[in-house]
Amino acid sequence: MSRVGIYGGTFDPIHMGHLHVITQLIEKKFVDQLLVVPAGEPLLREHAPRATAQQRRAMCQLALSDLSAEVASKVQVNPIEILRTGPSYAIDTVEAVAQTYPGDSLVLIVGQDAADKLDQWHRIDELRTMVEFVVISRPGYQGNGIDIGALPVAATTIREGLSADVSSSVAAFIRENNLYDN
């Protein structure tokens, strides 16, 4: 039985903080393999993503190529939410992943900020019976998440041009596609 992690997010853009989490999840064996799932229509966000779903998927793919081969071999980008129409509910994604990985243990990776809103999630009681939650501590958030030395990086500062904390391939993609107007 394998532990399959599901690491969802807007990834607008995917940044060095996300790559650090991915690396730590694999290296510290929290999961055996990891699915990075860009959100289609995230519901609990103040603003819609600036990059399109396909651009966010492409950035995730590029970012994985910047990981060590050992880590990257255990990680894949799963487009299930961006291919689905309508709102992105974690439970729908978990149900679909469970069909693909029968008999495996599903682990839902969330940051402390998202964990603070779990009670607002669609069908949360049912979701809690289907997955193990791994909550990652984030700088600036109080809580009891796992401390993996999360980096103080925020996609907002990258979009505003105040930070360049993305991998070189993602930075090139952002420039080539004139994302975030910076």
Confidence (pLDDT) at 48: 79
How would residue 139 be classed by pLDDT, with cut points 50, 70 and 90?
A: confident
Do the Cβ atoms of 12 and 27 come closer than 8 Å?
Answer: no
Confidence (pLDDT) at 181: 73
Place of tokens 């599901």: 6
Domain ranges in the chain are 3-181
pLDDT digit string, tens, across residues 5-44: 999 999 999 999 999 999 999 999 999 999 999 998 776 5
Give the separation between CA 30 and CA 88, rounded to whole angstroms. Answer: 25
| CATH assignment of 3-181, among 3.40.640.10, 3.40.50.10330, 3.40.50.620, 1.10.10.10 | 3.40.50.620
Q: Distance from CA of residue 92 to its chain's centroid?
A: 16
Give the separation between CA 8 and CA 57, rounded to whole angstroms. Answer: 12
* Residue 56 CB-half CA count within 13 A: 28
Confidence (pLDDT) at 87: 82
Do the Cβ atoms of 78 and 92 come closer than 8 Å?
Answer: no
> In Å, what is the CA distance from 45 to each residue of 10, 41, 87, 116?
9, 9, 12, 13
For the whole model, what pTM was predicted?
Answer: 0.93
Amino acid at 181: D
Give the separation between CA 137 and CA 2, rounded to whole angstroms. Answer: 24
